[in-house]
Amino acid sequence: MSDAPIDRLNAIMARLRDPETGCPWDKEQTFATIAPYTIEEAYEVADAIERGDLTDLKDELGDLLFQVVFHSRMAEELGAFDFDAVAQAVCDKMIRRHPHVFAEQSYDSLEAQTAGWEAIKASERAAKSKGGVLDDVPPGLPALLRAVKLTKRAGRVGFDWPDPAAVLEKLQEEVVELTVEIEAGDQEKAREELGDLLFVCANLARKLNLDPEDALRAANAKFARRFRYIEAALAAQGRGPEDASLEEMEAIWVEAKTAEKG
């Protein structure tokens, strides 16, 4: 076994998948069964970054790398590709997409560089017989992220709102349409209108140059923080949330909000 850490990791993965002596769990896995773990590890990387915990980030990046090694090993077993081919492909892609770094091309501005990047990606899509503007936006992306990518792509060919104000106007329109369906008691149409509302919210984030997933994560953290404040305040009284009225909890929530802003 090579002393290089990546070679050692590949060797460990091969042993885990060995048909005779490998781990029973690892041997049974497929691309489909491992995919959810890959997504989970990517989110754990994002969480470590959000918390500013570089020790955890090192560990989580290792876990994410292991997912790449796992998928590569399964592909190698099928005779499709191996880890080296994965690394080679991304090396080639980065060099191809950065001609201003690795070749003689130069760009006059960041906008020109972005346009060049998109032109290269468009040619790659065409080479893969994916010529449609939206063809290679993965369906498996988180819904908010996919909404951003879909409309960003459409925006590049002129199908876009002119500014955030126009998106806000559309957002208000969607709220009215959702309200109508809620009042009518039509669950399926309410679901559709709620989807439209969330889609427009994702677009508003894009027009504001904000990440909607990041914004929602921050809102989740804020909600959890303030609700824990409610729990702590009630615990100090020998009670729990189930023992308090909504009005009491609302009052403590406002107290938590004021304390944060103060």
Give the pLDDT confidence of 107-119 residue by residue, as tens digits.
888 888 888 887 8
What stretch(es) of the chain map to CATH 1.10.287.1080?
Answer: 5-97
- Tell me how far apart the alpha carbons of residues 20 and 35 are, in angstroms, rounded to a whole number: 24
Query: Stretch 230-256: mean pLDDT, rounded?
Result: 96
Task: Summarize pLDDT for 40-90 with one digit per residue, the tens.
Answer: 999 899 889 988 999 999 999 999 999 999 999 999 999 999 999 999 999
What is the value of pTM for the model shown? 0.65
17 contact partners, CB below 8 Å, separation of at least 6 = 23, 26, 27, 73, 74, 77
Rounded (5°) CA angle 233-234-240: 145
Residue-wise burial string across 72-96, b where 16 or more C-beta atoms lie within 10 A, e elsewhere: bbbbbeeeeeebeebeeeeeeeeee
Which of 56-70, 124-138, 205-219 is modeled with the greatest confidence?
56-70
Q: What is the assigned CATH class of domain 5-97? A: mainly alpha
Tokens of 1: 């076994």
- Tell me how far apart the alpha carbons of residues 106 and 100 are, in angstroms, rounded to a whole number: 5
CB of 225 closer than 8 Å to CB of 174: no
